[in-house]
Each structure stands twice: as C-alpha cells, then as structure tokens.
Amino acid sequence: MRFDLITLFPEMFSAVRDQGVCGRAHARGLWSLETWNPRDFTTDVHRTVDDRPYGGGPGMVMLAEPLALAVEAAREARLRAGIDRPDRPVPVVLLSPAGRTHDQARAQHGAQGSGAILICGRYEGIDQRFIDRLVDEEVSLGDFVLSGGELGAMILMDSMVRLLPGVLHDAESAIQDSFNPALSGLLDSPHYTRPEVWRGQSVPESLLSGHHARIAVWRREQSLALTVARRPDLIDRARSAGALDARDEQVLDRARGARDEPARDQGPDDAV
C-alpha cells in the first residue's frame, strides 16, 4: 500500500511515517508514503500557491495548476514504481469538510486497495476547477473545523494501515476493537491492570474471578451499558444487524430501567 500526499507541509507526516504502529509497519515495508509539495511545481519567482478569491471574500484560494502538476507527478511516479496498473489508477481523494464522513467501514474498504493520492488543502479553499477535473472523492473527518487537510489525511491512513495483514502484533487487538464485528459494533468494556487496588479503587471482582464465562458476561454487560448510555445509535445499528440476542436485550432493559428510575441515594449501594 502506498499513499502520495499533496501537501504544503510534508514534515507533518513524520507523525505517521515514523511513530507507533504505523511507523513500525512503514519500517517493515508494509506501506509507504511519498509527499509532493505544490510549491515545487510553481514557475514564478515567489513560488506562489494561492491567490485572492474571484467575487471577493475573506482568505485565499489554492491555485489549480501547482496542485494538478503535483497530482500528475505522483501518478507517474506510482506507475513507474509499478504500484498501479495504468487501467486501474488509485483514487485521488480530497480531504474536505464538504466530503462524506470517514468511518470504519470506509477504512476497511480502503485497506483492501493499494492506497490513494491524498490532497491536503490549506487556506479558505481550492479552485473548484481542480476538484472537478482531478478529484475522485471528498472525505471529511466530521463536523469540526481543521486548519487544513494534513491531520485528516493522517487519520485516514492510520485507520487503514492498522488493518493491513501483519501490522498489529496481537491479532486480538484488532478483533477486540470498538466497531469490530466481534463486539457487534458496541463500545468496548473497561480495562484494568495492576495493581489490584489503586488509590483505594479495586478492580471489578468479576475480572479477578478467573472464571472465563463470568468474565465474558461481565464484559458484555459493561459493553452494552456503556453503549446504551453514550452511543444509543450504535445499539440501534447492532439490533438492526441482528447482533443482539435475548440476553443482551434483557441487560439493556435493566440498564434503561436503572437510568430512568429516580435516584435512590439514601443508604449504601445494593449488594449484588
């Protein structure tokens, strides 16, 4: 898998190229990253990459031509490297607040491919004619405003690279993830490690029991309770997918009941 980044800030990408899970996978040759700076594709003495918007308004707009030359250079380099077949070019993806929102399903789909050419915008926007001619899809990270596309591109790559075969040490850590089918798309249960008592707080008794079935039941209950409280939308989705059984529904009914009842805050907690 190879990513070609069109960016005015190539140094930012050391974060995914050199650090952590993605860094290790990069060092092992499981994926690669090349950067192309539109500034290197300018022809004027000032190396101009932006200009004022037609029609007026605040901010600057990225010029189409340096971006287009950078994309074309990236495409040719990929062909020369034998990464892409000429009849199956990789998608050109623009990171943009106007794109469809990235999610785990998209990450899984992307991880099956051979990478992408990722366009990172800066300033107020990009000349629309470049988008119309050269961009295949626009991807957003969600409803908040970033200063540019670079961090979005890194999130996109991180979410795909960690799904590549052989990237994670422990196959389990991917399988146990939130949003993974093994958890039916529910949020993960809480985790604990030593010491058994930390600042007066004990590890939940179920986890110390050594009783695998009881531990599995506890984790499932925690997962369901956390998800119904924080992300009820994920419960609906899991139910529609047929991923909740009768016992899950019972746990959810109890969790709902506990939240809807008025608090009985006199006296100690009920013993279970």
Residues in contact with ligand 9D3 by CB under 6 A are 95-97, 121, 124-125, 140-142, 144-146, 148-149, 152
Active site includes 162? yes
Active site includes 150? no
Of the residues 162, 219, 221, 248, which is catalytic? Answer: 162
Active site includes 124? yes
Residue placing its CB nearer to ligand 9D3 in the complex, 123 or 179: 123
As measured in angstroms, the least distance from the Cβ of 99 to ligand 9D3 is 7
Quickly count: other Cβ atoms within 10 Å of residue 57's Cβ. Answer: 10
- Identify the DSSP state of 131: H
Cβ contacts of residue 78 below 8 Å, gap of 6+?
Answer: 2, 4, 84, 90, 117
CB 49 within 8 A of CB 73: no
Within 13 A of 196's CA, how many CA atoms are on the CB side?
Answer: 5
Residue placing its CB nearer to ligand 9D3 in the complex, 62 or 228: 62
Classify residue 246 as exposed, middle or buried by CB count within 10 Å of its CB (0-12, 13-18, 19+). Answer: exposed
As measured in angstroms, the least distance from the Cβ of 97 to ligand 9D3 is 4
As measured in angstroms, the least distance from the Cβ of 1 to ligand 9D3 is 20
Residue placing its CB nearer to ligand 9D3 in the complex, 29 or 55: 55
Of the residues 40, 65, 177, 188, which is catalytic? Answer: 177
Active site includes 261? no
Residue placing its CB nearer to ligand 9D3 in the complex, 155 or 238: 155
Cα distances from 36 to residues 13, 40, 48, 117, 213, in angstroms, run 12, 8, 15, 10, 53
As measured in angstroms, the least distance from the Cβ of 154 to ligand 9D3 is 11
Of the candidates 255, 172, 187, 257, the residue with the CA atom closest to the CA atom of residue 223: 187
Residue 8 in tokens: 């005015």
Within 13 A of 171's CA, how many CA atoms are on the CB side?
Answer: 3
Of the residues 24, 40, 53, 97, which is catalytic? Answer: 97
Residue placing its CB nearer to ligand 9D3 in the complex, 140 or 223: 140
Of the residues 65, 124, 138, 188, which is catalytic? Answer: 124
As measured in angstroms, the least distance from the Cβ of 214 to ligand 9D3 is 43
Which residues are known to be catalytic?
Answer: 97, 124, 162, 177
